[in-house]
Structure 1
Amino acid sequence: MQIIEVTGYAVRSAVITMRRTGTPLEFVIFPMLHVASPTFYSQVRIRLRECDLIVIEGIRGNSVGVSALTLAYRFTPRWRRNGLQEQREELLLPEAVQVINPDVTAAEAIADLKSLPRWMYLLLMIAAPVMGLVFALPGPRAFLDEDLVVEDLPSTLRAEMMADGPVEHAMTGRRDQRLLDALGEIHAERSDEPIRVAIVYGAGHVPAIMSGLWDRYGYRPREAEWLTVLIPT
């Protein structure tokens, strides 16, 4: 199932609702991009108001290494001509809805990355700020370049570094497991309640979320709504 759509006109994200036969609880997955138009974040916020619980991504605590990695998307919004914003909780979260964050700590995230061969770890630390400049200089049209993806690294570099899975596993493996365990607890405790549980995580995590909910708990994608992330000018 397509999660992020990139065309010559726009970048769109599919909000996916997953349900299980005989269970009133439903999970609504919001594939997020760390940089997007203000309209995208306002549209997500409107839909989150209709949910009863929000499960949100966000590495807890501070770390020099994590800050270096996030430079890739913190550079872009600083060029005001781009018309983009960095994803922030105050842009997304309605005050009245309960929020939980099952993500890893900064120390855990860096420990996972340091399990990689040293050259891979150092290359990640170097590539992130460089890619931030790559995205910032051309503005939103960078998202439509075939050699770039709406992530932190160019597709060619990602393909080379993630072909055998070590970088991808280091960056998302523990985080995805922690999230799916939390979703399992929600299913076990509240599956008989007619509630909507929002999952607000980066688009790169969504395939693991969908397969985990399907394989572990029997939830299937039943609806999808496209939201426009940005329209390059």
Structure 2
Amino acid sequence: MQIIEVTGYAVRSAVLTMRSTGRPLEFVIFPMLHVAAPTFYAQVRTRLRACDLIVMEGIRGKSAGVSALTLAYRFAPRRRRNGLQEQSDALLLPESVPVIHPDVTAEEAMADLRALPRSTYLLLMASAPVLGLVFALRGPRVFLDDDLAVDDLPSTLRAEMLADDPVERAMTARRDERLLDALGEIHADHADEPMRVAVVYGARHVPALVSGLMGRYGYRPREAEWLTALVPR
């Protein structure tokens, strides 16, 4: 099963509801694209209103390095004809639902990247602006690529390949662990309460998230709802 489905006409994201037998607490996983159609973010916001707590991705603090990396998805929305928006808290978060941010700091994120071989690190930093220009020029069609597809269970070949990639590990491993620790605290404190906890994280974090909730705490995917994230123009 895929959590991000890429076809010739659209990209869709599967919202997963995970439950553990005998417990009323449930986690609702929203696999996010950081650039998408405005309607996608509106649909997510509507569903977040029905949740009791939101666990939100977001590197804390500022860093020139982190800003450079995010150029890859900040350029595309600047061309109005692309019909895209960049993800933001203002678009997503309803005022009535409490939010926690267990993500790493900018300093921690950059420390993990600097631990890569120097040539790999420099290539990564240099390629972000180039990718951003490609996204801006090609528009939504650049996203209609099988490389964007993400599987939800790490036993699949694609997820295993990603897990072995040093850049992928540097960008996600510490952040995934921090997220799972936060969800573990929620589980310990509220497992016997009828709470609906939303987890709003980029799609690349979801394989480790699903695996961790299953292996550590016994939560399994019970429902999935497809949301259209973008369509080409």
Q: Mark the CA change 1:169 to 1:163 in structure 2 (over 3 Å): closer, same or farther.
A: closer
Q: Which amino acid aligns with 2:38?
A: P
**Range with bigger deviation, 25-34 or 129-138:** 129-138
Distance 2:38 2:130 in 1: 24
Alignment of 1:172 onto 2:172: yes
What per-residue deviation string (whole Å, max 9, x for no partner) do you get for residues 37-85 of structure 1? 0000000000000000000000000000000000000000001110000
- 1:18 corresponding residue in structure 2: 18
Contact 1:214 1:220 in 2 (8 A): yes
| Paired residue secondary structure (2:194) | coil
SS state of the match for residue 208, structure 1?
helix
Alpha carbons of structure 1 residues 145 and 211: separation in structure 2 relative to 1, 3 Å: closer
- By how many angstroms is 1:214 displaced? 0.1
- SS in structure 2 at match of 1:54: strand
Q: Secondary structure at the match of 1:24?
A: coil
Which residue of the partner structure matches residue 72 of structure 1? 72
Identify the residue that residue 148 of structure 2 maps to in structure 1.
Answer: 149
Moved more, 120-129 or 23-32: 120-129
Percent of pairs with identical residues = 77
Change over 3 Å in CA distance of 1:150–1:133 after alignment to 2: farther
Residues 124-203 of structure 1 mapped to structure 2, 5 A cutoff: 124-146=124-146, 149=148, 164-203=164-203
How far residue 167 of structure 1 moved from its aligned partner, in angstroms, is 1.1
CA deviation after TM superposition for structure 1 residue 200, in Å:
0.0
Q: Distance in 2 between matches of 1:83 and 1:226?
A: 20
Name the structure 2 match of 1:107.
107
1:221 alignment partner in structure 2: 221
TM-score, normalization: structure 2? 0.93
Q: What SS is found at the alignment partner of 2:24?
A: strand
Q: Which residue in the other structure is 1:158 paired with?
A: none
Structure 1 residue 163: Cα displacement: 7.8
Distance in 2 (CA, whole Å) between partners of 1:114 and 1:32 is 26
Q: Do the aligned partners of residues 187 and 84 (structure 1) sit closer, same or farther apart at CA in structure 2, a change above 3 Å counting?
A: same
The DSSP-based 3-state class of the residue aligned with 1:213 is: helix
Count of residues in correspondence between the two structures? 225
Residue 120 (structure 1) aligns with: 120
Q: Cα gap change, 1:145/1:82 in structure 2, threshold over 3 Å: closer, same or farther? A: same
Q: CA deviation at 1:162?
A: 5.8
CA offset digits 1:6-36 (Å, max 9, x no partner): 0011100000000000100000000000000
Contact 1:18 1:223 in 2 (8 A): yes
Match of 1:156 in 2: none
Structure 1 residues 218 and 26, CA, compared in 2 at 3 Å: closer, same or farther?
Answer: same
Instruction: Please report the RMSD computed on the Cα atoms of aligned residues, expressed in angstroms.
Output: 1.8
Deviation (angstroms), 1:231: 1.2
Structure 1 residue runs of 5 or longer lacking an equivalent are: 152-160
Q: 1:100 to 1:202 in 2, by over 3 A?
A: same
Structure 1 residue 143 displacement after superposition: 1.0
Contact 1:113 1:121 survives alignment (8 Å)? yes
8 A contact 1:33–1:150 mirrored in 2:
no
- What per-residue deviation string (whole Å, max 9, x for no partner) do you get for residues 184-205 of structure 1? 0000000110010000000000
Q: Is the 8 A contact 2:20 2:220 kept in 1?
A: yes
Gapped runs of 5+ residues in structure 2?
151-160
Q: Which residue identity does 1:24 align to in structure 2?
A: P
Q: Contact conserved, 1:143 with 1:150, CA < 8 A, in 2?
A: no
